[in-house]
Amino acid sequence: MKPLSQCLFSAAGELPYGQKYYHISYTFEISKEYKVLEVLLEYEPEKRTKPPKDLEKEVREAARTEIFREDPQTISDLINLCPLKNLINLAIKGPDGWRGEDHKFLCRREICLAEEGSTPCFSNGKNLPGQYELVLHVYAVFTDSLRYRVEVRGL
């Protein structure tokens, strides 16, 4: 039987459409060493299905100023990159330094931190007691809004 884990920290929030280039930081204390820390990040919706109305204008401007292309083929190929997925990285710092960061386009991340078998993107190590920090690196929100939740549990 799986031992019951204990909730050590949780937070939630909402981000508006168009939010980008933004860091959110949560710090909290963990009072004892846990063999395993489970960190959950989930948000919804995951992606936009219908292009926003100003997308074409934004794509055109990015193509013109960043890759110096304005031809209709390039613009339509770029617009076809839709549906646009929201992108948030989660970085975790423990009392003895950074454990890692995941750069993924997934709306649910279940991260396990342990001495062995930590989730890829995060390093193995003891989960020492002390101050922890979760950082959400918000690259882009394409959906009308984005509701997220983070939770840390100890085992």
Site for another protein contains 58 (CB under 8 A) = yes
Mask of contacts with another protein, 103-132, x by CB under 8 A?
A: xxx------------x-xxxxx--------
**Minimal distance, residue 136 CB to another protein, in Å:** 11
**How many amino acids of this chain bind another protein (CB under 8 A)?**
40
Nearer to another protein, 40 or 84 (CB): 84
Select the span of 28-36, 37-45, 91-99, 146-154 touching another protein (CB under 8 A).
91-99
- Residue 86 burial (C-beta neighbours within 10 Å; 0-12, 13-18, 19+): buried
- Identify which of 14, 53, 38 has the alpha carbon closest to the alpha carbon of residue 134: 38
Among 11, 40, 87, 155, binds another protein (CB under 8 A): 87
- Identify which of 105, 121, 122, 104 has the alpha carbon closest to the alpha carbon of residue 113: 122
Nearer to another protein, 118 or 154 (CB): 118
Long-range contacts, stretch 18-24, CB < 8 angstroms, 24+ apart: 18/141, 19/138, 19/140, 19/141, 19/146, 20/138, 20/139, 20/140, 20/141, 21/138, 21/139, 22/138, 23/135, 23/136, 23/137, 23/138, 24/135, 24/136, 24/138
Site for another protein contains 28 (CB under 8 A) = no
Site for another protein contains 74 (CB under 8 A) = yes
Interface with another protein (CB under 8 A): 20-21, 23, 55, 58-59, 62-63, 66-69, 74, 77-78, 81, 84, 87, 89, 91, 93, 97-98, 100-105, 118, 120-124, 135, 137, 139-140, 142
